[in-house]
A and B are shown apart, each in its own frame.
Chain A
Amino acid sequence: DTAVSQTPKYLVTQMGNDKSIKCEQNLGHDTMYWYKQDSKKFLKIMFSYNNKELIINETVPNRFSPKSPDKAHLNLHINSLELGDSAVYFCASSQGGLAGLYEQYFGPGTRLTVT
């Protein structure tokens, strides 16, 4: 019974396309996150949502739009994909609203390749 799940696991698409990555958690957590891991394996937080409300929005292009239909889901929609968007995107969740003060549970990641 997967705690944090993401779909798809792999996504290959062309520049200019719009795509979405879905994330669901069944842990009953209040807060969900999106992270980007670049080709050098460097992790960076993109967004944090607490009870469907945006808490953190790091300097991410506005082509990236998170959408939280309910507390258990946080989807990531990307418009006009660029080569530099190629990365692994991780979803995570935790109890509480402060990103750093609670243990986070990570999804398996979605490897996005833009050609």
Chain B
Amino acid sequence: KNEVEQSPQNLTAQEGEFITINCSYSVGISALHWLQQHPGGGIVSLFMLSSGKKKHGRLIATINIQEKHSSLHITASHPRDSAVYICAAVSNSGYALNFGKGTSLLVT
């Protein structure tokens, strides 16, 4: 089973700060998802990536498949970014998804 670790578990930031959330996994994967869960409970897919970097607005996701590590960056953070961010590692078969425990972000 692929162990997926996220850090930090909790993060508080001031509005405008640059934020980084990390995700590491124990075995080789084919891709990785980043999800955002709003305080109301809804889940939104942010990125699915298998190499390099993707950018959407103020969000940037990077992955290094060989080093088994991915990061999610938020530039110019805003209180509306407050949410739980979850990474999910995709097995090489493409079928299995293993989730991290999430990073709870509060921007004040």
Please determine whether A100 and B101 come into contact, CB atoms closer than 8 angstroms. Answer: no
Assuming the A-B contacts A41-B102, A43-B86, are A100 and B42 also in contact, with contact meaning beta carbons closer than 8 angstroms in the complex?
no
Q: How large is the interface on A (under 10, 10 to 19, 20 to 34, 35 or more residues)?
A: 20 to 34
Total of A-B residue pairs, C-beta within 8 Å: 61
Is B59 engaged at the interface, CB distance under 8 Å to the other chain?
no
Residues of B within 8 A of A99 (CB): 90, 94-97
- Which parts of B29-49 form the interface with A (CB within 8 Å)? 30-31, 33, 37, 41-45, 48
Q: Mark each residue of chain B from 80 to 108: 1 if its CB lies under 8 Å from any CB of chain A, else 0.
A: 00001010101101111101011000000
Selected from B30, B33, B45, B101, the residue in CB contact (under 8 A) with A105 is: B45
Please determine whether B42 and A109 come into contact, CB atoms closer than 8 angstroms. Answer: yes
- How many angstroms from the CA of A24 to the CA of B44 in the assembled complex? 17
Please determine whether B45 and A106 come into contact, CB atoms closer than 8 angstroms. Answer: yes
- Which parts of B49-79 form the interface with A (CB within 8 Å)? none
Q: Mark each residue of chain B from 11 to 42: 1 if its CB lies under 8 Å from any CB of chain A, else 0.
A: 00000000000000000001101000100011
Please determine whether A40 and B101 come into contact, CB atoms closer than 8 angstroms. Answer: yes
- How many angstroms from the CA of A99 to the CA of B48 in the assembled complex? 12
Is A103 engaged at the interface, CB distance under 8 Å to the other chain?
yes
Please determine whether A43 and B95 come into contact, CB atoms closer than 8 angstroms. Answer: no
Which chain A residues have a beta carbon within 8 Å of chain B's beta carbons? 40-45, 48, 55-56, 88, 90, 92, 98-106, 108-109
Q: What are the 5 tightest A-B residue pairs by CB atom distance, in nearest-first order? A: A100-B90, A98-B94, A106-B43, A43-B99, A103-B45
Can you list 26 A-B contacts (CB < 8 A)?
Answer: A41-B101, A41-B102, A42-B102, A43-B86, A43-B99, A43-B102, A44-B99, A56-B96, A88-B41, A98-B94, A99-B95, A100-B90, A100-B91, A100-B94, A100-B96, A100-B97, A101-B30, A101-B31, A101-B90, A101-B94, A102-B48, A103-B33, A104-B45, A106-B44, A108-B41, A109-B41
